[in-house]
Chains A and B, each alone.
Chain A
Amino acid sequence: MLKVRTIAYIVWLEMIRKKDAYVLLILLGALLCVLVSLNVFGLGGMVRYIKDVGLMMAWGFSWLLASAVSSRQIPQEEKSGTIYPLLAKPLSRFEFIVGKWIGTWTAACFATLMFYTLIMLVTAAKGGIFSMPSIIQGFILHCFALGIMTAIGILCSTRMNSDAAFSMTLTLTAASFIVSPRVSELVAKSSGIHAILLDVIYHVLPHFEVLDMRRRIIHNYGPISANIFITAIAYALVMSVTIIILAWLSYRKKRFSRSNIYG
């Protein structure tokens, strides 16, 4: 466990140094300031649109951050040659993969916490409030969604360079966001092989809509029941662990070539 924590700590240091999260935080702040400054027919007291756009941006930025940070971890280590001293230590490849995943996941969660805090402060400044149970549940489920995204990034990066892994991660997660929830509508309009393919996609791709509580939070529907909350978390954990195991299986026998390092 200590080895996993050490690898995760290195990921944190790298993220702090690279300042990705700060840039996104500043962008989010600028966007929220623009929204707050709108003069809507001279009327005031509207906050749902700030919550809506703010949370959408929080999801979007955390998605980008999680994908970018997770997809560059392993390729960067291989490219710079630091993978050799790292794996020469009594560190298994499984611990290495899990450490990278935990590091990127927790770093992305912390950045998301900053985004949520900013949104809550701006909303409060405009006179709105969030239901605390709902927003806490929403944030926790968002974090578990980031766990799946970072796991996909780690999986892709075991066999691709960082750019390809980033693109693939974005594509897979975007497809999960956009296509998975709509498969039931698409199947209604399809038949034959198309319907079967859509069904396969439905069962293979992750379902982020079961971890997305934004509509409940924005429109004040209140928190979800404990059963549903735990079920959603369990699904996210199972999905993440499955993807990480696939990443380990992909990486455990991988051979490195020193001639490729500086190429």
Chain B
Amino acid sequence: MSNFNKIYNTVKCSAYSPWLFLVLCWLTAFSLSCKLATASISGKGSDESGFGQLVAQGAGEALSVALAEKADVYFHGGIPRQSKKSFKNRFFQNIARNMAPDGHVHLEGDLMKETLPWYWLAVKMDPNNIENYLIVSYWVSTSLDDKKTAHEILMEARRNTKLHYEIEMEDANIYLKEHKLKEAEDALDTALRMWPSDQDPNEERARVGLVSLLMIKCLLREINADVDKAVACLRQILKITPDDQGVKQRLEELEKGKQPSLKARAILEEITHKTSEAVVCHRDEDEGEHDHEEHQHKHNQ
């Protein structure tokens, strides 16, 4: 009998064999976890396990969407989206309506905090999705009035995602609410350099984003009495939206030598204030459709 067989039979018959088996399993699991940890840091595993990564990524994204939807339900007071029903007033439905109220409500103020744990989980499931970061930082800076935490959330977004102009734009918006105009301008410049990030420059969302950036930049330049640069900004906006009468009128005023820095401040204040109230929800319960613009910036020009 070979030496190996002798040792094997001795161990197998020993009273300690279950414990030895347990130790062996633990060592195997530990060494596998070390290998996985180093593979994820070096990124070497990503080429070898493409399918596995794809599945994990897809599951993470799907979960993230579901968790963001849950946060939306919380925003609406726990009332989920209503689908079209063939009957609405049977006995059980009438009782159930009392148990679980329906209707259209929104959380306000400090209560918005209750949606955050679901957004937090959504961010953990899909750290590359900037939408959740933008929504959370918006609510934290407005409803909770915690600008510092909002900036920290955007900092985390920068760490976890690719550089994106919308993150810088949101940062600039928060600085504007804090009346930190210099920091806001720096963030806007960064956003303009990053535009359009991964969006198609001809896409509507990218164009609207660029116009928003240029408009705020123009107003900041007016406030700083830098008329020439303000005019240059407005001309850039007109190239994108040539039919915008508001911008044309503003350009005329500046070219005539008017110095409306007070008006610029008022408009900027209005835009900042309007942004806070411009989160519009369109829930059409009768048709069972839901068009929820949770993070929408509207600028009156």
Does B associate with A?
yes
CB of B274 within 8 Å of the partner chain? no
Per-residue contact bits, chain A 213-243, to B (CB 8 Å; 1 contact, 0 not): 1111011010011001001100100000000
Q: Once the chains bind, are A232 and B136 in contact (CB under 8 Å)?
A: no
Which residue of chain B has its CB nearest to the CB of A232? B95
Q: Which residues of B (107-148) have their CB < 8 Å from a CB of A?
A: 110, 113-114, 116-118, 120, 136, 140, 144, 146
Which chain B residues lie closer than 8 Å to A184 at the CB level?
85-88, 90, 93
Which chain A residues lie closer than 8 Å to B153 at the CB level?
41
CB of A49 within 8 Å of the partner chain? yes
CB distance from B45 to the nearest CB of A (A): 27
Question: Which of B96-104, B166-174, B218-226, B231-239 lines the interface with chain A?
Answer: B96-104
Q: Once the chains bind, are B152 and A48 in contact (CB under 8 Å)?
A: no
CB distance from A165 to the nearest CB of B (A): 26
- Which of A45, A188, A209, A231 meets B100, CB within 8 Å? A209
Per-residue contact bits, chain A 87-122, to B (CB 8 Å; 1 contact, 0 not): 000000000000000000000000000000000000
CB distance from A48 to the nearest CB of B (A): 4
CB of A187 within 8 Å of the partner chain? yes
Instruction: Compute the total of residue contacts between A and B using a CB distance below 8 Å.
Output: 92
Known: A46-B116, A184-B85. A218 touches B78 (CB 8 A): yes
Q: Once the chains bind, are A185 and B100 in contact (CB under 8 Å)?
A: no
CB of A212 within 8 Å of the partner chain? yes
CB of B35 within 8 Å of the partner chain? no
CB distance from B92 to the nearest CB of A (A): 5
CB of A57 within 8 Å of the partner chain? no
- Which of B85, B96, B98 meets A188, CB within 8 Å? B85
Number of interface residues of B (CB under 8 A): 33
Which chain B residues lie closer than 8 Å to A46 at the CB level?
113-114, 116-117
Q: Once the chains bind, are B98 and A224 in contact (CB under 8 Å)?
A: yes
Which chain A residues lie closer than 8 Å to B113 at the CB level?
43, 45-46
Which residue of chain A has its CB nearest to the CB of B105? A219
Which residue of chain B has its CB nearest to the CB of A138? B99
Q: Once the chains bind, are A235 and B95 in contact (CB under 8 Å)?
A: yes
Q: Once the chains bind, are B77 and A219 in contact (CB under 8 Å)?
A: yes
Q: Once the chains bind, are B98 and A228 in contact (CB under 8 Å)?
A: yes
Q: Once the chains bind, are A185 and B83 in contact (CB under 8 Å)?
A: yes
- Which of A180, A188, A207, A209 meets B86, CB within 8 Å? A188
Which chain A residues lie closer than 8 Å to B140 at the CB level?
41, 43
Q: Once the chains bind, are A211 and B99 in contact (CB under 8 Å)?
A: yes
List 11 interface pairs A-B (beta carbons < 8 Å), by A numbering: A38-B120, A41-B116, A43-B140, A45-B110, A49-B117, A185-B85, A188-B84, A209-B96, A209-B100, A215-B101, A221-B77
4 more CB-based (< 8 A) A-B contacts, given A185-B86, A187-B87:
A47-B114, A180-B92, A210-B92, A215-B101
